[in-house]
């Protein structure tokens, strides 16, 4: 294929992730693919491990989804399999996400892919503060093969520059976005939720949605709920707890609720497909994580007109205006979390005001359209640089200058 025909082909972006399953990162990726004009970019997904039925959320049947079935630990054969796939797909851009996919940008470079982007969406429990020496050495070693980094928060952008030592002109913040039509405030009466008689007139539903894993720390929310309903008669009479999601902390949470004799005040239905409807039935959203990049569920709750009580970690303070759209508390502190929830229980008018303000904030700053435009503009910039490089023209520093301005103005 000659250079002219390559330039007029629709460029392809190959996204490399650890696993295609329910999650905030994966949800953002699916939204990006579904909303992209196929005349502008086409996409492919390579899952290093496997895929779940979450793949059905992708509405385009022309998107290749490939599982490499990587074994635990180092599996060097995965690099060779990826190299062969990339040589066949011939993407303009490879976009990896989070640490587990980072090293595969080396394979992309070996396959001749000139546009190489790495996204940081948050750190997991094995490296909460991003100071693990082994991981940061890996990041520095792969840095020469990275054209650009994206982060979902200012917190992660500053960490890449200050702690890892990535050049600031290579880092661009693109915050997550939320579908403000799919997630919208409740109109009229609350729809039935939970088992029979779980919700009554005057009930206040406090809820959370997410993987029930250590990093999300739903156990602290359970302890806060128990603490609040045991000390506050009004809270026990009106408060109900909703925890949507699956994982090892679900069973732990149920055991704690049963031991405290308040299991009838909580509903833990596991993973659900009707999250927008559940959000509209809630009155208050809580995120008790011990680490976050930018939480999609916080944005979805705010779009649903809910105030948010969340831990002051990662990029969460960039979403919540404390005292205006919600409250922030220290991580792993059930008493502080109980106090914040209790403030809303005894101030329903304030709860409604903060919910209205949260919806306005999402509409103005965190729409899905804004997120998608930012990613596509970045892909355009990378492709322009690639075309200039292939034609032998001097690469303009405009992209680096714009990225530097975006970083320091965030």
Instruction: Give the dihedral sign, CA 152/153/155/161.
Output: positive
Element (H, E) at 31: helix 24-35
Rg of the chain on CA atoms, in Å: 22
- Whether residues 344 and 384 fall in one domain: no
Asked whether the predicted pLDDT for residue 403 surpasses 60, the reply is: no
- Whether residues 22 and 150 fall in one domain: yes
Q: Tell me the CATH number at 341.
A: 3.40.50.2000
- Whether residues 220 and 333 fall in one domain: yes
Asked whether the predicted pLDDT for residue 410 surpasses 60, the reply is: no
pLDDT digits (tens, 9 = 90+) for 370-387: 999 999 999 999 999 877
- Whether residues 50 and 137 fall in one domain: yes
- Whether residues 236 and 326 fall in one domain: yes
pLDDT digits (tens, 9 = 90+) for 30-73: 999 999 999 999 999 999 999 999 999 999 889 999 999 999 88
SS3 label, residue 180: coil
Q: Does a structural domain hold residue 254?
A: yes
pLDDT digits (tens, 9 = 90+) for 16-28: 999 999 888 998 9
- Whether residues 359 and 372 fall in one domain: no
% of the chain exceeding 90 in pLDDT? 82
Pure H helices in 94-213: 99-102, 104-110, 133-142, 154-159
pLDDT digits (tens, 9 = 90+) for 96-120: 999 999 999 999 999 999 999 999 9
pLDDT digits (tens, 9 = 90+) for 284-335: 999 999 999 899 999 999 999 999 999 999 999 999 999 999 999 999 999 9
Confidence category of residue 392, pLDDT binned at 50, 70, 90: low
Could you please report the per-residue DSSP string of 358-399? HHHHHHHH-BHHHHHHHHHHHHHHHHHHHHHHHHTPPPPTHH
In the prediction, which pLDDT does 390 show? 66
Question: What is the average pLDDT score of the chain?
Answer: 91
In the prediction, which pLDDT does 338 show? 98
- Whether residues 239 and 162 fall in one domain: no
E-assigned strands of 18-133? 42-47, 65-67, 93-97, 115-120
**Averaged pLDDT for residues 87-92:** 96
Of 73, 283, 114, the closest CA to residue 186 belongs to 283
Among the candidates 333, 350, 365, a domain finishes at 365
Window from 140-144, 237-241, 395-399 with minimum mean pLDDT: 395-399
Among the candidates 350, 365, 380, a domain finishes at 365
Q: Does a structural domain hold residue 194?
A: no
In the prediction, which pLDDT does 2 show? 40
Q: Does a structural domain hold residue 198?
A: no
In the prediction, which pLDDT does 125 show? 73
- Whether residues 209 and 148 fall in one domain: no
Does the pTM surpass 0.75? The reply is: yes
Pure H helices in 152-273: 154-159, 218-231, 233-238, 248-259
- Whether residues 17 and 158 fall in one domain: yes
The domain containing residue 388 runs over which residues?
3-177+367-409
- Whether residues 215 and 361 fall in one domain: yes
Could you please report the per-residue DSSP string of 288-327? --S--SS-HHHHHHHHTT--EEEES-TTHHHH--BTTTEE
pLDDT digits (tens, 9 = 90+) for 155-190: 999 999 999 999 999 999 999 999 999 999 999 889
Give the Cα separation of 308 and 304 in Å (integer): 11
If phi > 0 it is left, if psi is from -120 to 50 it is alpha, else beta; for residue 68 that is alpha
- Whether residues 51 and 105 fall in one domain: yes
Q: Does a structural domain hold residue 35?
A: yes
Q: Does a structural domain hold residue 240?
A: yes
In the prediction, which pLDDT does 281 show? 96
Q: Does a structural domain hold residue 191?
A: no
Q: Does a structural domain hold residue 195?
A: no
- Whether residues 217 and 319 fall in one domain: yes
Number of structural domains the chain divides into: 2
In the prediction, which pLDDT does 1 show? 39
If phi > 0 it is left, if psi is from -120 to 50 it is alpha, else beta; for residue 322 that is beta
In the prediction, which pLDDT does 55 show? 94
What separation in angstroms does the CA of 303 have from each of 71, 80, 357, 377?
39, 43, 10, 25
Q: Does a structural domain hold residue 291?
A: yes
């Amino acid at each position: 294929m000659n250079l002219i025909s390559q330039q007029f082909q629709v460029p392809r972006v190959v996204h490399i992730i650890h696993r295609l399953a329910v999650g905030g990162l994966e949800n953002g990726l699916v939204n990006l693919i579904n909303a992209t004009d196929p005349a502008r970019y086409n996409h492919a997904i390579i899952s290093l491990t496997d895929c779940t039925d979450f793949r059905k959320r992708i509405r385009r049947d022309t998107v290749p989804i490939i599982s490499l079935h990587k074994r635990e630990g180092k599996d060097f054969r995965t690099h060779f399999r990826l190299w062969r796939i990339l040589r066949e797909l011939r993407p303009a851009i490879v976009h990896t996400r989070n640490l587990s996919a980072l090293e595969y940008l080396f394979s992309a470079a070996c396959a001749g892919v000139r546009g190489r982007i790495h996204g940081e969406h948050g750190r997991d429990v094995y490296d909460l503060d991003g100071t693990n020496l082994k991981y940061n050495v890996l990041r520095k070693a792969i840095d020469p093969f990275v054209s650009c980094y994206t982060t979902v928060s200012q917190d992660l952008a500053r960490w890449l520059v200050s702690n890892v030592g990535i050049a600031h002109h290579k880092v661009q913040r693109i915050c997550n976005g939320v579908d403000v039509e799919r997630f919208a405030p409740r109109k009229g009466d609350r729809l039935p939720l939970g088992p029979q008689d779980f919700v009554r007139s005057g009930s206040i539903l406090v809820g959370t949605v997410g993987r029930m894993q250590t990093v999300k720390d739903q156990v602290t929310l359970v302890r806060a709920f128990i603490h609040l309903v045991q000390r506050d008669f009004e809270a026990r009479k009106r408060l109900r707890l909703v925890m949507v999601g699956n994982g090892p902390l679900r069973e732990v949470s149920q055991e704690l609720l049963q031991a405290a004799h308040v299991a009838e005040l909580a509903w833990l239905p596991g993973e659900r497909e009707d999250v927008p409807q559940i959000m509209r039935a809630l009155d208050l959203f809580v995120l008790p994580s011990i680490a976050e990049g930018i939480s999609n569920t916080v944005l979805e709750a705010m779009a649903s007109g809910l105030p948010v009580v969340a831990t002051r970690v990662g990029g969460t303070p960039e979403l919540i205006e404390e005292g205006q759209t919600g409250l922030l508390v220290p991580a792993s502190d059930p008493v502080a979390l109980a106090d914040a929830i209790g403030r809303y229980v005894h101030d329903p008018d304030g709860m409604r005001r903060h919910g209205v303000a949260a919806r306005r904030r999402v509409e103005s700053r965190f729409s899905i359209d804004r997120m998608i435009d930012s990613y596509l503009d970045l892909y355009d910039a990378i492709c322009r640089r690639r075309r200039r490089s292939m034609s032998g023209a001097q690469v303009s520093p405009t992209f680096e200058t714009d990225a530097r301005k975006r970083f320091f103005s965030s």
